[in-house]
Amino acid sequence: KVAVKNLSFGIPTGECFGFLGNNGAGKTTTLSILSGEFPPSSGTGYIAGYDIQGDQSLIRRKIGYCPQFDALLELLTVREHLCLYARIKGITEESLPNVVHSIMEKMDLLDFSNKAAGSLSGGNKRKLSVAIAMIGGPSIVFLDEPSTGMDPVARRFMWDVIALMTKEGNCSVILTTHNMEEAEALCGRIGIMVAGRL
């Protein structure tokens, strides 16, 4: 079975582009291909001018990725997660404390900075996953159903954060969602995926 077929689209800087579709439509697979997790069986893609087939080490510095399910280390604290990923992204030790504090403040996680990820609520785990995706100032952020499991207040907060990312103009967002209200609130354009086709 082909998961994604003949997909072609472009996203300008500063846009939030939404992928909508049922489970199994190919949304997550598309993000996995663009982020380098899976190679495409044919064709290629470009992120910030770099080919996803050959420039993965350069592309990984340009992207942030929040997976559909939280991929957190239960025993690490919020601060430790962000420090770890900031170092991976090449943030210098000198600027590390300010970068981490700033992202925790932006994501309303300061009160939980020393709590282990395993003890966080579902909503705060999603906030941490999005914070990890945002760290290092990526050119493009992939958000795979970022507000799943959030209560209405936390979901609205998340929408405001995502809207601010694109409004600042130096970051594009590809968002997958089942929620039409979320797509309408955040996305300049949407693409509906059905059986691997856009």
pLDDT on residue 78? 97
pLDDT on residue 156? 92
pLDDT on residue 149? 81
Q: 188 pLDDT exceeds 90?
A: yes
How many whole angstroms separate alpha carbon 191 and alpha carbon 18?
A: 6
pLDDT-above-70 percentage for the chain = 99
Per residue in 88-138, pLDDT (tens digit) is 988 999 999 999 999 999 999 999 999 999 999 989 999 999 999 999 889
Per residue in 6-25, pLDDT (tens digit) is 888 899 989 999 999 888 88
Residues 6+ apart with CB under 8 A from 188: 15, 16, 17
Average pLDDT along the chain: 90
pLDDT on residue 165? 87
DSSP 8-state code for residue 87: H
Give the phi and the psi of residue 95 in degrees, each rounded to 5: -95, -5
Q: What fold characterizes domain 16-40+54-192?
A: Rossmann fold (3.40.50)
Q: 68 pLDDT exceeds 90?
A: no
pTM of the model: 0.90
Per residue in 30-53, pLDDT (tens digit) is 988 888 888 888 888 888 888 888
Cβ-contact 195, 2 below 8 angstroms? no
Burial class (CB in 10 A: 0-12, 13-18, 19+), 95: exposed
pLDDT-above-90 percentage for the chain = 51
pLDDT on residue 120? 94
pLDDT on residue 140? 93
How many whole angstroms separate alpha carbon 21 and alpha carbon 5?
A: 15
